[in-house]
Chain A
Amino acid sequence: MKTSLLVSAMMAGLVGLGGLAVTGTAMGQDVIRVGAPLPLTGPLAPDAAKQQQGYNLWAETANAAGGIKVGNKRMKVEIVYVDYQSNTPRAVQAAERLITQDKVDFLFSPFGSGATKAASSVSEKYEMPTIAATASSEQVYDQGYKYLFGTFTPNQTLTEPLADMVKKQAAGVQRVAILARNDLFPLAIAQEMEKSAKKRGMNVVFFDKYAIGTLDHSAALAQVKAQAPHWIFATGYINDLAIMKKQMADLKIEAPVVTMITAPAFKEFIDATGKGSENITTAAWWHPAARYKGKDLFGTTENYNKLFAAKYKIEPDYSPASASAAGAILQMAIERAGTIDRKKVRDELAKMDDMTFWGPVKFGPTGQITSLEPPVIQIQGGKHIAIYPPAIRQGELRLGVK
C-alpha cells in the first residue's frame, strides 16, 4: 500500500501545480487598469462567472460613455483578470502579482469573505484602494485597514429583518433548526441567525455544520426531521443547497418556514430544484425590484436591469450587481478625486455618502458599507418576490415549504 500513499501525495502535488493564468491586454497611458483576481475555475467557478458579468458590464458601460473622467481628460477602463482556481492562498499571490507585476491602478477583492480577508493584507501593504464585492462577514473588516471597502452590509443585517418578519407574521414558529456549511461566511451567518432567533424567544433545537463538498446530507436531515422544527435555516452555496433541498424532499421534511442563504436568490437554484423551491425564503443585499435613483453611471436600478438584461438575457441578481456597484463606486471616487492617485481616491471612498443604483453608499469606519437595507426574498410561483422592505414589497410572506 506504499504506492497508494505515494500516489495520493503525487495527486495532491499535481493538483497544486498549474500556476496562474492571466488574461488582459495592453498597457496604455490613458487606461485605468483594475485588477480582479477571481476563481474562474474550480468549485467556485459559477460564482466567479457572475462577478465577471458585473465587472464587464461596468467597464463596457463606462467605456461606451467615453471612459472615466479624470480631471480634464477621459480614461478608458480595463479589467485585468487572474484566475486563482478556487484556491485561497493562490488568491493572495494573484493580488500581489496584479499590484507588483501587472501594475494595476486599483483592485477588486477575490470572491467571498475568506479570500477577501486573506488578500486584504496585500492591498494594505501596497496602499492599494480595494473594493470587495462579495464579503459581508465583519471579521473581514476588523483589522484596522484603511484601503479596503466592502459593498455588503454585515451578516446580521440579513438575519435580523428575517427573524423580525417571521416572528410577526408566523406566530407559531418556535423551533428552529440550523444547518451550516463549515466555511467562513456560511458559518458566520448561521451563528447570526442563532442569535437573532434566540433574541426573539425562539428555540434553536438543532445546530450542525457540514463539511465543504458534502454530497449526502441525509444523516443530518434525518436528525432535523426528528426535531420537527418550524423553521429550517440552511446556509451554503448553490450546489450545497440544491442538493440539500432535494434530499429534504426525499425524507419528506416539511416546515412552515425554510430559509436558505445564499443560493435561492439565483435563478440557477430555481432551475435546479424545480417545484421544491416554492416558498423558500432568502435574504440578499439587493433585489432588482429596488427603485433607487443613483448618481452613478448606471443611474436608476431600472436602467441597470435593462442594460444587464440586454447583454446577458437574464435578470440580474445581487451578485453581479454588487460587482457592477464596486466599479461604479470606484468610478465616482476617481472622478471626484480628479486623479488616479491612490491616496486621494481612497479618501474619496472613505467620505462617500451618495445614492447609486445599488442603494445608498456610505462606508463605516471599518470600510464596510453601513447604508443598505437588505431585502428579504421569497420564491413564489417560480419567481423571486421581494417581501421586505415595504418600499419594494411585491408580495406577502407565504408559509409552508414541501
Chain B
Amino acid sequence: MLWLQILANGLVLGGLYACIAAGFSLVWGVLNVINILHGSFIVLGGYLAFYLHMHFGVHPFVSILLAAPLFFALGYALQRSMINRMIAAPVLLTLTLTFGLDLMLSNAMLTAFTADFRKLILDPPLGIVSLGPVVLPVDRLLAMVLALALTGLLYLLLSRSRIGRAIVAVRMDREAASLMGVDVKGVYAITFGLGALMAGASGPLLAMIFPISPLTGPVYLGKAFVICVLGGLGSVPGAMIGGLALGLVESFGALWFGSEHATTLSFVLLIVVLLVRPEGLLGRKGYA
C-alpha cells in the first residue's frame, strides 16, 4: 500500500508544481522572456500571506484574492515601464534585465525580512484526511485544488476571452497580430501581469506548506524551469502535465532510488526530454 501513498503524495505535489510553473511558462511562451523574478514573486506573495495572517488573522486562502490584483498590477507596471523597452532584444538581454531586477528584489527582501525561515502556522491546523491506507494533509489537498483551479482559470481565459485570444495570437505571430489591430505592447503587459498574478497567488498557497524565506525563490524558479521544459512552453496544459510529471518522478524516484537521487532523477528526465522530444511533452500544438 506504500505505493498508493507515494502516488497520492506525488499527485498533490504535482498540482502545486503546476501552479508554480503556469505563469512562468505563459510569459516565456508568449513574450519569449525568461522571467527570473518569478521565484521572488512567489516568495513575496508568501510574505504577504504571512504578515496578513500574523497581524490581521487573514486566512491565506483569502490573501490570494488580495495578492492576485496586486501582483497583476505590479507585473503590468513592470512590463510597461521596463521590459517592453527591450522586448525585441535577444532573449539573453531580457534575461539579464529580469535577473538584475531579481537581485534587487531578493536583496530588498533579505533586508526587510532577513534570511530567517518563517512558517505560517494555522491554529487550529487544517488536519489530515484518511482515505483507507492513504493519509493526505488537508492544506496540501486544498492548495492543490486551488492551484488546479487557478491554472484552469488561466486556461479558460486564454482559450475563451477576447484578450486571451489576443495573447495567443501575439504568441503565434506578432506581426500578423499587430496588422490585425492587436495592441501588442498592451497584450505583452497584460500577459506579464498574468504571469506575476499566478506567481503572487501561488505564494500564499505555498506559504501554508513550505517555510518562507527570500532564499527559497531560486528553488521555485528552478522547479518552474524544469516543468516548462518537460511540459512544453507557453501552454497551460503543458505546465499542468509537466508539474504532475515532476511531482510523480520526485516521489517515486525517492522511493526507488533514495531521496538523495530524487532531484538527480528529475534532471535526467529533463535531459531525456530535451534529447527525445525537445518541444516538451505537449509540444507547441495547443497554444492555450
Q: Which residue of B lies closest to A247 (CB)?
A: B137
User: Does A10 lie within 8 Å of B254, measured CB to CB?
Assistant: no
Bound Cα distance from A222 to B123, whole angstroms: 25
Contact at A219–B135, with CB atoms within 8 Å? no
B13 touches A218 (CB 8 A): yes
| Distance between Cα atoms of A35 and B140 in the complex (Å) | 46
Q: A215-B216, A222-B6, A242-B119 are in contact. List 15 more A-B contacts (CB 8 A).
A: A1-B274, A209-B258, A211-B260, A211-B264, A213-B263, A214-B259, A219-B251, A225-B5, A242-B117, A242-B211, A250-B139, A250-B140, A251-B135, A252-B130, A274-B119
| A303 within 8 A of partner (CB) | no
B1-29 interface code vs A (CB 8 A; 1 in, 0 out): 01001100110010000000000000000
Judge whether A11 and B137 touch: CB under 8 Å.
no
Query: 8 closest pairs, A vs B, by CB?
Result: A219-B254, A250-B137, A45-B115, A210-B259, A272-B119, A218-B9, A209-B260, A220-B259
Within 8 A of A (CB), among B232-288: 250-255, 258-264, 274, 278
Residue interface bits B208-228, CB-to-A below 8 A is 1, else 0: 011101011001000001000
Give the residues in chain A near B9, CB-CB below 8 Å. Answer: 216, 218-219, 222
In the bound complex, do residue A46 and residue B259 qualify as a contact, i.e. CB atoms below 8 Å apart? no
Within 8 A of A (CB), among B127-156: 128, 130, 135-137, 139-140
> Measured between alpha carbons, how far is A10 from B125 in the docked complex, in Å?
43
Q: Are A215 and B219 in contact (CB under 8 A)?
A: yes
Contact between B255 and A215 (Cβ–Cβ < 8 Å)?
Answer: no
A-B interface contact total, Cβ < 8 Å: 125
Asked if A3 is at the interface of the complex by the 8 Å CB criterion, the answer is yes
* Residue contact B117 to A10, C-beta cutoff 8 Å: no
Interface residues of A, CB < 8 Å — how many?
Answer: 47
B residues less than 8 Å from A223 (CB atoms): 2, 255
| Contact assessment for B92 and A10 in the assembled complex, using a CB-CB cutoff below 8 Å | yes
* Interface status of B95 (Cβ within 8 A of chain A): yes
Q: Is B58 part of the binding interface, using a Cβ–Cβ cutoff of 8 Å?
A: no
Known contacts A6-B92, A182-B260, A251-B135; A222/B5 CB under 8 A: yes
Q: Of B117, B121, B210, which is within 8 A of A268 by CB?
A: B117
A46 touches B255 (CB 8 A): no
B116: interface (CB < 8 Å): yes
A355 at the interface (CB under 8 A from B): no
CB distance from B108 to the nearest CB of A (A): 13
A209-B231 Cα distance, complex, nearest whole Å: 29
Cβ of A238 under 8 Å from chain B? yes
Distance between A264 CB and nearest chain B CB, rounded to angstroms: 14
A-B contacts, 15 of them at CB < 8 A, read: A4-B225, A208-B259, A209-B260, A210-B262, A211-B261, A214-B259, A220-B259, A239-B211, A243-B210, A243-B211, A246-B209, A252-B130, A268-B116, A271-B119, A273-B119
Query: Is chain A's interface secondary structure helix, strand, loop, or mixed overall?
Result: helix
- CB atoms of A214 and B128 under 8 A apart: no
Distance of A295 from chain B, by nearest CB (Å): 35
Q: How far is the CB of A244 from chain B (nearest CB, A)?
A: 11
Provide the residues of chain B in CB contact with A64, threshold 8 Å.
none
Instruction: Tell whether, in the assembled complex, residue B255 and residue A219 are in contact, meaning their CB atoms are under 8 Å apart.
Output: yes
**A238: chain B residues within 8 A (beta carbon):** 117
**Cβ of A252 and Cβ of B135 under 8 Å apart?**
yes
Size bracket of the B interface:
35 or more
- Distance (whole angstroms) from the CB of A237 to the closest CB of chain B: 10
A137-B243 Cα distance, complex, nearest whole Å: 39
| Residues in A1-26 with C-beta less than 8 Å from chain B | 1, 3-4, 6-8, 10-11, 14
A228 located at the interface, meaning its Cβ lies under 8 Å from any Cβ of chain B in the complex: no
Are B34's CB and A7's CB within 8 A? yes
In the complex, A208→B210 CA distance in Å?
21
- Roughly how many angstroms separate A208 CA and B260 CA in the complex, as a whole number? 8
Q: How far is the CB of A4 from chain B (nearest CB, A)?
A: 6
Contact residue among B110, B123, B139, B254 (Cβ-Cβ distance under 8 Å from A220):
B254
- The A-contacting residues of B in range 83-105, CB under 8 angstroms, are 91-92, 95-96, 99
A53 at the interface (CB under 8 A from B): no
Contacts of A4 in B (CB 8 A): 225, 229, 274
Binary contact track A18-45/B, C-beta < 8 Å → 1, others 0 = 0000000000000000000000011101
Most buried by A among B99, B254, B264, B274: B254
A215 to B119, CA, bound (A): 14
When A1-B278, A219-B6 are in contact, do A214 and B263 touch as well, CB less than 8 Å? yes
Identify the closest chain A residue to B133 (Cβ): A226
A41-B260 in contact given A7-B91, A216-B250, A252-B135 (Cβ < 8 Å): no
Report A379 CB to chain B, min CB distance, Å: 15
The answer to whether B118 has its CB under 8 Å from any CB of chain A is yes
Find chain B residues with CB under 8 A from A14 CB.
96, 99
Across-interface contacts of B251 in A (CB, < 8 A):
216, 218-219
Q: How far is the CA of A213 from the CA of B260 in the complex (A)?
A: 10
Query: How far, in Å, is A46 (CB) from chain B's closest CB?
Result: 5
Tell me the complex Cα distance, A214–B266, Å: 13
Cα(A4)–Cα(B121), bound, Å: 38
Interface contact B95-A10, CB-CB below 8 Å: yes
User: Is the Cβ of A252 less than 8 Å from the Cβ of B128?
Assistant: yes
* Contact of A49 with B2 at beta-carbon distance under 8 Å, contacts A6-B92, A182-B260 already known: no
Name the B residues within 8 Å of A210 (CB-CB): 259-260, 262
Evaluate whether A7 and B95 lie within 8 angstroms (CB atoms) in the complex, with A218-B9, A219-B259, A222-B5 already known. Answer: yes
Q: Which residues of B contact A49 (CB under 8 A)?
A: 114-115
